[in-house]
Amino acid sequence: MATEAPLYKDPTQPVEARVKDLLSRMTLQEKAAQMAQIERQVAAPATLTDLSIGSVLSAGGSAPRHGATAEDWADMVDQMQRWALASRLGIPIIYGSDAVHGHNNLFGATIFPHNVGLGATRDKELARRIGEATALEVRASGIQWTFAPCVAVCRDLRWGRCFECYSEEPEIVRMMTSIVSGLQGSPPEGHHSGYPFLAGGRNVIACAKHFVGDGGTHKGKNEGNTICSYEELEKIHMSPYPDCFDQGVCTVMASYSSWNGEPLHSSRFLITDVLKNKLGFKGLVVSDWEGIDRLCQPQGSNYRYCISASINAGIDMIMIPFRYDKFLEDLILLVESGEIPMLRIDDAVERILRVKFVSGIFEQPFSDRSLLDIVGCKEHRLLAREAVRKSLVLLKNGKDPKKPFLPLKKNAKRILVAGTHADDIGYQCGGWTITWHGDSGRITTGTSILEAIREIVGEETEVVHVPNPTASTLLALHQQEPFSYAVVVVGEVPYAEFLGDRTDLSIPFNGHDTISLIAGTIPTVVLLVSGRPLVVEPQLLEKIEAMVAVWLPGSEGGGVADCLFGDYDFHGVLPVSWFRSVDQLPLNSGSGASYDPLYPIGFGLRMFD
């Protein structure tokens, strides 16, 4: 008689029954391995098959090869899945990657504006649509899990991750969590808040991060210490999480930061008592990259302490990502010694299995090759272009408000486009693009702001592009034939995490001097390509005709030209306060009389009434 398939393999069974059945069949070694997430570079057949590792990830920029296609990615992930399915119980892996503004690890994918720009749109339906499109491009590459959205509430612009945040205002971050429903699909009426949900194979497991208070650290120090009352932590930094739970977010990532001196990765109060018990989160909690190693100083020294402190605090899956043998050896010893109760292990593995069963990965473990053509497709690029348009914030339009300078004329005889950021896809995409910290140059497919300007102006318009004109060059060019106007595009260079922590928020590459030189001769509009507000001196502001916050628009620079030349009006409003000086930071609305920004949160002009 054919042996009956075990209950956990039967998709008609309830998820909780499948979880219970599979858990009952697992050895301690297999349970420990399911709690391990390793980087793709160490994911070998023996590791995945013999150990039954729970998850594999790509660090920022960790692709199968330089310029890898979606097919290359899908081949890699499917191969790893075959190794995993060959394990004793055939538990599939879930593969994770940071698709934080489109599938930004994948060359040729649609790159959407970073979250700070989406916060300027205040458009929750747009966020949901972006999540939907991103999920398709991620699944096309075989990946099932994205470490997004970042729902940090950025309270200090000196933090290098403010561009990953929707706003300094919890209410704005809360509204933009609608991206979870785009990424995962929308749960049915009556869905139990906190229980994981995934609609199907065209959706991806989402990850609300980084729990909790990552955007509130002292002086905006990355991985720093958030010093505040529990009420303030709950009201400001925790408030977006229940919105994610209502949408069935499957995973939460713990923050590197500390709260009043206690690292989040070892905070039983916040991870177990609050996140799991009080807020009712039933999905899995994953550590950050080497997040547990930071619990011991020197980092990773007393690794057994790192493991027991984090797992006893309530973290379920550890983003190790390389030393998995040491992790597994120590974890098993800690359980056998009783330092980590078996109940805690079972809780962690139950949560991991619950997410896997809910995701449908047991039934559909491999990539869907019919999605391959969807990567970077026209429809997604048009959506990204719409998002760019809606994210732009018009800060000044005309030295005399009665004489608006924008929209620019499409049929001007001769125009100057200058600045380091006019023709650089890498700069306009920012961090987390192709590589972890991003880069300059043509790092992926897309349209630069200069290319978009060239496309939109008339044939008779001469577009002169000089990134950094000297005074003499500028004079000679202008005397040769006067420019009708200048578009000066400057801003920040890409960065990620601690690389972006900065107290000097002036425009890099002497952007101030470039603007001043050009605006002294030609009527000028300034476009700021940055992950946050930058210093704009009053006398410089007086010299220019107009200024637009472009944020980090991504691959579709066409959205910038659409508004600049009047095909669309500006709609964006500031998601963060624009300081006069960095000495004012942190500067947040609601801080009473001391709140004296150059432009307040919510500010944004229109061209047309």
Cα–Cα distances in angstroms (integers) from residue 364 to residues 35, 139, 442, in the given order: 21, 12, 36
Least Cβ distance, residue 257 to ligand GLC (angstroms):
10
Interaction of residue 381 with ligand GLC, rule CB under 6 A: no
Interaction of residue 289 with ligand GLC, rule CB under 6 A: yes
Least Cβ distance, residue 376 to ligand GLC (angstroms):
22
Contact (CB, 8 A) for 532 and 568: no
The span from the CA of 591 to the CA of 398, in Å, is: 31
Interaction of residue 60 with ligand GLC, rule CB under 6 A: yes
Q: Taking every pair of C-alpha atoms in the chain, what is the biggest distance, in angstroms? A: 94
Interaction of residue 405 with ligand GLC, rule CB under 6 A: no
Which residues 6+ apart lie within 8 Å of 381 measured at CB?
A: 110, 555, 556
> Within a 13 Å sphere around the CA of 227, how many CA atoms are in the beta-carbon half?
6
Q: Closer CB to ligand GLC, residue 147 or residue 327?
A: 147
The span from the CA of 254 to the CA of 270, in Å, is: 10
Interaction of residue 59 with ligand GLC, rule CB under 6 A: yes
Ordered strands of the 36-39 beta sheet: 145-146, 94-97, 55-58, 36-39, 318-319
Q: Closer CB to ligand GLC, residue 60 or residue 557?
A: 60
One-character DSSP codes across 177-230: TTHHHHHH-PPPTT--TTS-----TTS-B-EEEEETTGGG-GGG-TT-EE---H
The residues annotated with a catalytic role in the active site are 288, 497
Least Cβ distance, residue 183 to ligand GLC (angstroms):
14
Least Cβ distance, residue 177 to ligand GLC (angstroms):
16
> Within a 13 Å sphere around the CA of 112, how many CA atoms are in the beta-carbon half?
36
Q: Closer CB to ligand GLC, residue 59 or residue 333?
A: 59
Least Cβ distance, residue 148 to ligand GLC (angstroms):
8
Least Cβ distance, residue 409 to ligand GLC (angstroms):
44
Q: Closer CB to ligand GLC, residue 288 or residue 439?
A: 288
Ordered strands of the 284-286 beta sheet: 207-211, 251-254, 284-286
Q: Closer CB to ligand GLC, residue 60 or residue 314?
A: 60
Pairing of strands 55-58, 251-254: unpaired
Interaction of residue 98 with ligand GLC, rule CB under 6 A: yes
573: its two tokens: 């409003």
Q: Closer CB to ligand GLC, residue 112 or residue 579?
A: 112
Q: Closer CB to ligand GLC, residue 156 or residue 288?
A: 288
Least Cβ distance, residue 58 to ligand GLC (angstroms):
8
In what helix (H) or strand (E) does residue 319 lie, and over which residues does it extend?
strand 318-319
Q: Closer CB to ligand GLC, residue 91 or residue 319?
A: 319
Site string for ligand GLC, 519-558 (x = CB under 6 A): ----------------------------------------
Least Cβ distance, residue 492 to ligand GLC (angstroms):
19
Among 129, 174, 209, 502, binds ligand GLC (CB under 6 A): 209
Pure H helices in 392-537:
425-429, 449-456, 471-480, 511-519
Interaction of residue 213 with ligand GLC, rule CB under 6 A: no
Interaction of residue 259 with ligand GLC, rule CB under 6 A: no
Contact (CB, 8 A) for 52 and 84: yes
Site string for ligand GLC, 475-514 (x = CB under 6 A): ----------------------x-----------------
Contact (CB, 8 A) for 570 and 392: yes
244: its two tokens: 């994610």
> By three-state DSSP, how is residue 140 classified?
helix
Q: Closer CB to ligand GLC, residue 60 or residue 248?
A: 60
Least Cβ distance, residue 319 to ligand GLC (angstroms):
6
Identity at 126, one-letter amino acid code: L
User: Positive or negative CA dihedral for 167, 168, 171, 177?
Assistant: positive
Contact (CB, 8 A) for 551 and 113: yes
How far the first Cα of the chain sits from its last, in Å, is: 78
Site string for ligand GLC, 16-35 (x = CB under 6 A): --------------------
User: Positive or negative CA dihedral for 253, 257, 263, 269?
Assistant: negative
Interaction of residue 288 with ligand GLC, rule CB under 6 A: yes
Contact (CB, 8 A) for 500 and 156: no
Site for ligand GLC in 134-153 (CB under 6 A): 147
Site string for ligand GLC, 319-358 (x = CB under 6 A): ----------------------------------------
Least Cβ distance, residue 556 to ligand GLC (angstroms):
24
Judged by CB under 6 A, how many residues of this single chain contact ligand GLC? 8
Q: Closer CB to ligand GLC, residue 80 or residue 487?
A: 80
The span from the CA of 134 to the CA of 449, in Å, is: 23
> By three-state DSSP, how is residue 37 classified?
strand
Cα–Cα distances in angstroms (integers) from residue 495 to residues 54, 161, 387, 535, 560, in the given order: 30, 9, 22, 18, 22
Interface contacts to ligand GLC, rule CB under 6 A: 59-60, 98, 147, 209, 288-289, 497
